[in-house]
Amino acid sequence: MNADLKKHVLELLGKDTRLDGRKALDFRKPVEVKVGISKNAEGSCQVTMGETVVMAGIKLAVEKPYPDSPDAGCLMVNAELLPMSNPEFESGPPGIQAIELARLVDRGIRESKIIDMKKLAIIPGEKVWSVMIDVLPINDAGNLFDTAALAALVALKSAVFPKLEEGEVVNYKEKTTKKLPLDLKKDTLSVTVWKIGKHFIVDPITDEEKVMEARITVATLADGNLCALQKGGDTPLTTDEVMKMIDIGIEKTKELRKYLK
């Protein structure tokens, strides 16, 4: 809403810098990844990018499969924009912003087929494992998309099955050492590329997010192929701009990949 802020951000980008002194395509430092921040979760992770902090947790349960895929497990991704993380977030059921965040994280994981869903079947047609991922920001200082996607992926890779007792009853108190059936070659990471004027940036801080015109979230597999795309923002993009942004997304994903351990 503040016209001056947009002008200022553009001026700075014209001089190859940003509000916090970074270059257009720099991520904030440090990027910290902490695994196992919730011992009760089957898998969990906290990612810090600059001052943005997001927690992701995995819970597993035994459920009936979907009727159209009786021999495959279920996956659900949920996001809650906690009011503690940003004074503008309100309490209440997830609004469209939370839903978009959840769907973006979901798309990256589901479409990459990193989880071998068939291996989650226990009794085909009757009982399968359901994987539930929850991402929650603790402090929102910009770029929840990429922080949440990274946290969800690392949590997923660290997750283990809880013990399954007789009658397919889950004993959450005992965790096994068996990891989820993941195809690690499909390591998918998301980078969101934003456009303002004729400039492209990654990892915006809150003030920058306010003045951006459009964005594309690019989910890339380890082999460089894309598995999910989503455009957001109110401004339309030309094909050239789209391809340029995708290129940037793929390139910057390589950098984020360092944090996957």
Partner 1 sequence: MSKLLIKDKEITVPGEVLAEGMDYLPGIGTYREGQTIRASRIGLVNIDGRAIKLIPLAGRYEPKRGDTIIGFIKEIIMSGWLIDLDSPYHAMLSLKDAGSEYIAKGADLTKYYTFGDYVVCKITQVTTQKLVDVTMKGPGLRKLYGGRIIKINTHKVPRVIGKKGSMVSMVKQATGSKVIVGQNGTTWVQNDDPKMELLTVKTIEKIAEESHISGLTDRIKKFLEKETGKKVETKVEGE
Partner 2 sequence: MAYTKRLDKRKFDEPREMEAKVGIIPRADGSAMFRMGNTIAYAAVYGPRSMFPRFLQDPQRGTLRCHYNMMPFSSGGERVRPGPSRRSREISMITEKALLPVIDLSHFPNAVVDVFVELPQTDSGTRCAGITAAAMALADAGIVMKDLVSSISVGSIDGQVLVDLTYDEEAYEGVVADIPVAYLPGSEKLTLLQMDGIVAKDILKKAIELGKKTCKDIYELQKNALKEKFKIKGDSK
Q: What residue ranges bind partner 1 (CB under 8 A)?
A: 1-5, 7-8, 12, 15, 17, 19-21
245 binds partner 2 (CB under 8 A): no
3 binds, among partner 1, partner 2, none (CB under 5 to 8 A by kind): partner 1
Stretch 143-172: interaction string toward partner 2, x if CB under 8 A: ---------------------------x-x
Burial status of residue 131 (CB atoms within 10 A of its CB: 0-12, 13-18, 19 or more): buried
Q: What angle do CA 195, 133, 157 make, to 5 degrees?
A: 90
112 binds, among partner 1, partner 2, none (CB under 5 to 8 A by kind): none
Binding residue for partner 2 (CB under 8 A) from 26, 80, 116, 241? 80
Q: How far is the CB of 57 from partner 2 (least distance, A)?
A: 3
Q: For residue 79, what are the contacts with CB-CB under 8 A and spacing of at least 6?
A: 94, 98, 99, 101, 102, 105, 134, 135, 136, 148
236 binds partner 2 (CB under 8 A): no
Q: How far is the CB of 3 from partner 1 (least distance, A)?
A: 6
35 binds partner 2 (CB under 8 A): no
* CB distance 82 to 136 below 8 Å: yes
Closer residue to partner 1 (CB): 187 or 208: 208
Q: Which amino acid is at 2?
A: N
* CB distance 141 to 205 below 8 Å: yes
Q: How far is the CB of 203 from partner 1 (least distance, A)?
A: 17
d(CA 240, CA 178) in angstroms, rounded, equals 46
Write the CA distances from 258 to 71, 189, 224, 254, integer angstroms.
35, 11, 15, 7
Closer residue to partner 2 (CB): 111 or 161: 161
Binding residue for partner 2 (CB under 8 A) from 64, 95, 138, 231? 138
Which residue's structure tokens are 């994981």? Answer: 109
Binding residue for partner 2 (CB under 8 A) from 84, 123, 184, 243? 84
100 binds partner 2 (CB under 8 A): no
Q: Which amino acid is at 70?
A: P
d(CA 232, CA 84) in angstroms, rounded, equals 25
Write the CA distances from 242 to 145, 215, 229, 236, 245, integer angstroms.
18, 9, 10, 10, 5
Q: What angle do CA 181, 187, 190 make, to 5 degrees?
A: 130
Stretch 173-192: interaction string toward partner 2, x if CB under 8 A: x-------------------
58 binds partner 2 (CB under 8 A): yes
Return residues touching partner 2 (CB under 8 A): 37-42, 44, 51, 53, 55, 57-59, 61, 78, 80, 82-87, 91, 93-94, 132, 134, 136, 138-141, 170, 172-173
